[in-house]
A and B are shown apart, each in its own frame.
Chain A
Amino acid sequence: MTRILNRLPLLPRQETVSFGKQDERTVVFSRDSLLVWLSVGLRGEDDPRRLSPPFPAVLDSGNTCEAYLHEHHLVHWAGIRPALLAVLTSKRINEVPVPFREADV
């Protein structure tokens, strides 16, 4: 893990990243962020055409648990309805119950 982290580039400055089918979405990343590109799909889906379009995310090297995605981003960035992903368990984050759903990232 450490070796992979060392190879990932830190953003040298604040950067605006465009994405989406026609680069119609933009998001600003802070300096020194580890920017990664994600696609989301149903678990075990091995057809790349059935994965979501790639979208940018921050790699949090201190997070030891799977991936966090706001429902807004799951719906509008990845184009996946949450109901398609089975609930495996749930967790309270900032006092809000958050479902853990099954997906490949």
Chain B
Amino acid sequence: MTLELTEQQRQQVTEHGGGPVEVVDPVSRRGYVLIAKEQYERVRAVLEAAAPAPPAEAAPAVSPLMLRSQQAYWRELPELLKDGKLHRQRVCYHGDQRIGTARTDAELVRRCLRLGLQRGDFYIGWIEERPTPPWEPPDVEESLFDVTD
């Protein structure tokens, strides 16, 4: 939605060479600044970068179904690793149920969606040795970030 300037605002903006012109909401008394669009585009990145960060809050938790799917993967991974043909393939779990194995994520995602599952209802893991279960935070080098578990 684009609002049109009132005649008074148009005159003020013209006199100021495109702005900035201060205006005020007569009800809330909140002040605003009118500037030409090209001027706004120049400072837009700065304004967005300076936008206040969202309040610190707990990270969203892993859903119980996702966790159960990850646990099933972790439980069955040793057995899957014994089958050399499956090495480096993916395996997908929906809760305790193994949906199947495939060479690509896309294949397993399509299979899950055909079954009526939603994204987030299933976990796809690689069939390969891994040091930690998927629900544990991945290892991150601490050279650049102050990382704690």
Q: Which chain A residues border B134 with CB–CB below 8 Å?
A: 88-89
Is B87 on the interface with A (CB-CB < 8 A)? no
Which of A42, A64, A72, A82 contacts B139 (CB under 8 A)?
Answer: A64
Q: Would B109 and A44 count as touching, CB distance under 8 A?
A: yes
> Secondary structure at chain A's binding surface: helix, strand, loop or mixed?
mixed
Chain B 101-116 per-residue mask, 1 if CB under 8 angstroms from chain A, else 0:
0001111111000000
Closest residue of A by beta carbon distance from B147: A93
Closest residue of A by beta carbon distance from B143: A62
Closest residue of A by beta carbon distance from B61: A87
Q: Would A44 and B105 count as touching, CB distance under 8 A?
A: yes
Q: Which chain A residues border B44 with CB–CB below 8 Å?
A: 24
Is A15 on the interface with B (CB-CB < 8 A)? no
Q: Which chain B residues border A98 with CB–CB below 8 Å?
A: 59
Closest residue of A by beta carbon distance from B112: A44
Q: Which chain A residues border B108 with CB–CB below 8 Å?
A: 44
Chain A interface residue bracket vs B: 35 or more
Closest 5 CB pairs of A and B: A44-B109, A44-B105, A97-B59, A86-B120, A90-B59
Which of A65, A92, A99, A104 contacts B105 (CB under 8 A)?
Answer: A104
A37-69 residues with Cβ-Cβ distance < 8 A to B are: 42-46, 60, 62-66
Q: How far is the CB of B135 from chain A (nearest CB, A)?
A: 5
